[in-house]
């Protein structure tokens, strides 16, 4: 019976590649063109923020594998990981997901995220999605970070604390803004509504894209003030060139 229903569903709602729109053999699958367009991140990378290095020791030191920005200005979060580089391909994936994406894509995204940081997930107690302000949530209908967190939790069995961290003010769109103005925009934007759900716990903050880290830093600051033991960040993609940080 299930087979008949899924066959009918495929007729009405045929499986297409989330990136190219080409027909694929099953829901949540990608076309070969999409696979070659996406850039998956790998070692060697900054042990703090996950920024890929061109070659081992590219940080200038064999001993400390942190990138120059992390050494100069350590982030408030303890580390960041992402499976994909933020580029033209992953950008259209994220935009499609944000604005009316199909729910089956999120399971694939969560699978990539889970593979990108098994060590971070193994030591985590709870997943905390980066919140949207209610007004933006109202307009968009769902919070893509919460969808990612829930999909990840289905794989790993972690709890998701969706109401622990809330957004107090609707920050303007961060697109096209410098790191400095992003930091200004998000200063004071977040607060911990349920301290008891983060206190003495190891948290993984979930978001779709890491650009300058301003949002993640603002969230991590509040979570640590509320007593979180550690705050790691996991995103679907991350900017790998500073010239892309204003996307």
216 sits near Zn ion (criterion: CB under 5 A): no
**Residue 213 and residue 74: Cα distance in Å, rounded?**
11
Q: Of 53, 23, 93, give the one whose Cα is nearest residue 235.
A: 93
Measured from the CB atom, the residue of 48 and 146 that comes closer to Zn ion is 48
The region of 4-12, 59-67, 87-95, 236-244 touching Zn ion under the rule CB under 5 A is 59-67
Residue 9 to residues 28, 106, 238: CA-CA distances in angstroms?
14, 19, 34
Three-state SS across the chain? CHHHHHHHHHHHCCCECCCCCCECCCCCCCCHHHHHHCCECCCCECCCCCCECCCCCCCCCCCCCCCHHHHHCCCCCCEEECCEECCHHHHHHHHHHHCCCCHHHHHHHHHHHHHHCHHHHHCCCEEEECCCCHHHHHHHCCCHHHHHHHHHHHHHCCEECCCCEEECCCCCCCCCCCHHHHHHHHCCCEEECCHHHCCCCEEEEEEEEECCCHHHHHHHHHHHHCCCCEEEEEEEEECCCHHHCCC
Of the residues 45, 51, 127, 198, which one makes contact with Zn ion according to CB under 5 A: 51
Measured from the CB atom, the residue of 45 and 147 that comes closer to Zn ion is 45
Of the residues 41, 67, 85, 127, which one makes contact with Zn ion according to CB under 5 A: 67
Measured from the CB atom, the residue of 67 and 165 that comes closer to Zn ion is 67
Binding mask 68-87 for Zn ion (x = CB under 5 A): --x-----------------
What's the closest the beta carbon of residue 41 comes to Zn ion, in angstroms? 12
Of the residues 34, 41, 48, 82, which one makes contact with Zn ion according to CB under 5 A: 48
What's the closest the beta carbon of residue 216 comes to Zn ion, in angstroms? 12
Measured from the CB atom, the residue of 46 and 130 that comes closer to Zn ion is 46
Region of residue 176 (phi > 0: left; psi between -120 and 50: alpha; otherwise: beta) = left
# binding residues, Zn ion (CB under 5 A):
6
Of the residues 19, 46, 113, 151, which one makes contact with Zn ion according to CB under 5 A: 46
The region of 4-12, 63-71, 133-141, 154-162 touching Zn ion under the rule CB under 5 A is 63-71
49 sits near Zn ion (criterion: CB under 5 A): yes
What's the closest the beta carbon of residue 61 comes to Zn ion, in angstroms? 13
41 sits near Zn ion (criterion: CB under 5 A): no
What's the closest the beta carbon of residue 213 comes to Zn ion, in angstroms? 9
What's the closest the beta carbon of residue 16 comes to Zn ion, in angstroms? 36
Residues that bind Zn ion (CB under 5 A): 46, 48-49, 51, 67, 70
């Amino acid at each position: 019976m299930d087979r008949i229903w899924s066959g009918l569903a495929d007729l009405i709602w045929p499986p297409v590649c989330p990136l190219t729109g080409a027909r694929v053999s099953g829901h949540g699958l990608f076309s070969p063109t999409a696979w070659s367009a996406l850039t998956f991140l790998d070692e060697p990378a900054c042990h703090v923020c996950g920024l890929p290095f061109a070659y081992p020791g590219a940080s200038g030191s064999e001993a400390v594998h942190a990138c120059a920005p992390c050494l100069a200005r350590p982030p408030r979060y303890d580390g960041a990981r992402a499976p994909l580089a933020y580029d033209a391909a992953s950008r259209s994936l994220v935009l499609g997901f944000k604005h009316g994406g199909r729910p089956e894509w999120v399971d694939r995204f969560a699978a990539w995220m889970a593979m990108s940081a098994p060590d971070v997930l193994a030591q985590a107690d709870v997943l905390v999605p980066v919140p949207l302000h209610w007004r933006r949530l109202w307009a968009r209908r769902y919070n893509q970070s919460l969808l990612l967190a829930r999909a990840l939790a289905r794989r790993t069995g972690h709890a998701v604390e969706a109401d622990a961290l809330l957004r107090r003010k609707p920050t303007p769109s961060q697109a096209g803004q410098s790191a400095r103005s992003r930091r200004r925009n998000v200063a004071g934007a977040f607060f911990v509504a349920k301290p008891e759900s983060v206190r003495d716990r190891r948290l993984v903050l979930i978001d779709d894209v890491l650009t300058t880290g301003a949002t993640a830093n603002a969230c991590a600051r509040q979570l640590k003030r509320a007593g979180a033991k550690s705050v790691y960040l996991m995103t679907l993609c991350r900017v790998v060139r500073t010239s892309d940080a204003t996307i």
